[in-house]
Amino acid sequence: MSLTRLKHILARQCDPHGFRKQTKMECFISAENVKSVLTYDRLISAMEKAFKKLQEKQVLQPVRIVLPVASENGFFGLMPAMCEAEEVMGTKLVTWYPQNTGRHGVPTHHAIIVLFNKNTGIPKAIMDGEVITAMRTAACSAVATKFLAPPSACKLAILGAGVQARSHYHALITVIPFTQVTVWSRSFASAELCASELGAMACQSVEEAVREADVIVTVTASTTPVLRLEWVKPNAHINGVGACRPDWSEIDTELMRAAVVYVDSREGALAESGDVILSKAEVYAELGEVVTGVKEAKRDQLTVFKSLGMAIEDVMAGELVLEQLASHSQPATN
């Protein structure tokens, strides 16, 4: 569907006061249409609001339901959420097949997001979820970095060279103007390609990549630790994004225990994060507690933000896409 056609549909679904007249879902919003309106500055603000609403107990979301696909070492997940205050309700359906790239030459993550009218239960839209997943995950790391990175942070290290490596670079430079960026991957060729796209430096080892970094992002597919305590600065901030299963980890036990650990959701982290579960590290705070001032942002210490992703992030990001598409469909006024 063309963007012009999509905007026309969205315009027809609203009366002059902005209330939906919709009685049925009329469109699928493609990845291209999501990309055309979703920007990191707006998305980072929306994710900060999502953390705030979660902390204020205005969000209803169970821990994701995960069906393992043992034959492919992957999983199929269901992630519903609702926020009464924002009048948003929806779910993400997501698959993760880590062997896709090597076996089939396709991405490891696939997802769709379904949004509903909270007041009537009528479906509002189905949209591609891959772009939103990549961007909202990075935007959440940007929120954490904004609050937790050392004030003088200027050097960024990215461990991993896939979609999330690229999205994290673009999200994080929105909050900090980094002067040095390094990239490591198990495949040096992949690290070189990613680094060339980002204007960064590819590194042969993790230690080389992180030893001067103020902010580190772990976005690997590793199930065992790749980042060790002895390689990082004592006040570095780490965004741990991979290792999304209880028996996987990217960050070694000593580092997790030495750091002040922040999570997106305690419930989610204690059920799903191998980095937290296997290390038995204490969770100091949810990020929402920092955003709302309930807990301290310990920027002078080693910090880890363990991100697993939450349904409310996807739902609010999806609503932002609808809002932006609708606003683009309205005629300009003087």
Q: What is the pLDDT of residues 166-175, one digit of tens each?
A: 999 999 999 9
What pLDDT band is residue 3 in, cutting at 50, 70 and 90? low
pLDDT tens-digit map of 255-276: 999 999 999 999 989 998 999 9
Per-residue pLDDT for 20 more than 80? no
pLDDT tens-digit map of 289-305: 999 999 999 999 999 99
pLDDT at 244: 82
Whole-angstrom Cα distance, residue 229 to residue 65? 33
Task: Please give the average per-residue pLDDT across 156-182, as a whole number.
Answer: 97
Per-residue pLDDT for 111 more than 70? yes
pLDDT at 63: 86
Task: Please give the average per-residue pLDDT across 232-246, as a whole number.
Answer: 94
Per-residue pLDDT for 9 more than 90? no
pLDDT at 105: 83
pLDDT at 116: 96
SS3 assignment, position 215: strand
CA distances from 228 to 68, 203, 286, 331 (A): 29, 16, 23, 54
Are residues 109 and 244 in contact, defined by beta-carbon separation less than 8 angstroms?
A: no
Whole-angstrom Cα distance, residue 304 to residue 72? 30
SS3 assignment, position 217: strand
Per-residue pLDDT for 21 more than 80? no
What pLDDT band is residue 108 in, cutting at 50, 70 and 90? confident
pLDDT at 73: 87
DSSP character at residue 282: P
CA distances from 66 to 63, 264, 267, 312, 333 (A): 9, 18, 15, 17, 47
Task: Please give the average per-residue pLDDT across 73-99, as a whole number.
Answer: 93
Task: Please give the average per-residue pLDDT across 242-256, as a whole number.
Answer: 92
pLDDT at 19: 40
Whole-angstrom Cα distance, residue 334 to residue 95? 46
Task: Please give the average per-residue pLDDT across 8-37, as a whole number.
Answer: 65
Rg (C-alpha) for the chain, rounded Å, is 20
CA distances from 310 to 21, 37, 127 (A): 29, 22, 17
Q: Taking the model in full, what pTM does it have?
A: 0.88
> What is the overall mean pLDDT for the chain?
91
